[in-house]
Chain A
Amino acid sequence: AQKITQTQPGMFVQEKEAVTLDCTYDTSDPSYGLFWYKQPSSGEMIFLIYQGSYDQQNATEGRYSLNFQKARKSANLVISASQLGDSAMYFCAMRESGGSEKLVFGKGTKLTVNP
């Protein structure tokens, strides 16, 4: 079964600094997709970034980048120039293969940005 591990229950960062949120995954399928979502206290899930297993380049979306190391099975999220509004829960997820399109989630990391 596919599995996502986020080992950092909580992270703190100073405003305007960069922060890396860790994510490792386990799958035997050569084709998969990796996602990062942000969940503020309101509960909505906000899509941040996507990386396909065959993508040669690391994905980037504005201040978000995904450090994809396929051999190490890691997909860390890097947030540059942190803002107070970045304080939220962050979830790493993997799309399961086999046609179901299911998303498997990690337990999340709570990021707090300090002024």
Chain B
Amino acid sequence: DGGITQSPKYLFRKEGQNVTLSCEQNLNHDAMYWYRQDPGQGLRLIYYSQIVNDFQKGDIAEGYSVSREKKESFPLTVTSAQKNPTAFYLCASTTSGEYGYTFGSGTRLTVV
């Protein structure tokens, strides 16, 4: 079945460490997105990519980095520069001509 796989589901990080969240899709979608969700805040866009080897900053890109070396993969690295990384992270994808978006099941990151 086609879909988006995010891993891990839960992630714990010590302060000062970088961590990478995985997002893989087998939908042949061109565009992929990373959102952050905090309680009462809704979803905010971190980074997005519309094509391999290209990506753009979203509204809250500081302290995060991404890569898009393959169409299927869009990993997000939460760096030590991110002041408050504890949140729920969602990956999504879509493609031109479709109005729908597919979301992954999310990764809950906790800094300990």
Contact of B74 with A by CB under 8 A: no
Residue of B nearest to A50 (CB): B99
Q: Which of B42, B99, B100, B106 contacts A105 (CB 8 A)?
A: B42
Contact of A107 among B31, B40, B90, B105 (CB under 8 A): B40
Q: Is the CB of A50 within 8 A of B105?
A: no
Chain A residue nearest in CB terms to B106: A43
Q: Tell me the B90-110 residues at the A interface (CB within 8 Å).
A: 90, 92, 94, 96, 99-101, 103, 105-106, 108
Q: Which residues of chain A are within 8 angstroms of B42 by Cβ–Cβ distance?
A: 6, 91, 105-108
| Selected contact of A44 from candidates B41, B101, B103, CB within 8 Å | B103
| Chain A positions near chain B (C-beta within 8 angstroms) | 6, 9, 33, 35, 42-45, 47, 50, 52, 91, 93, 95, 99-108
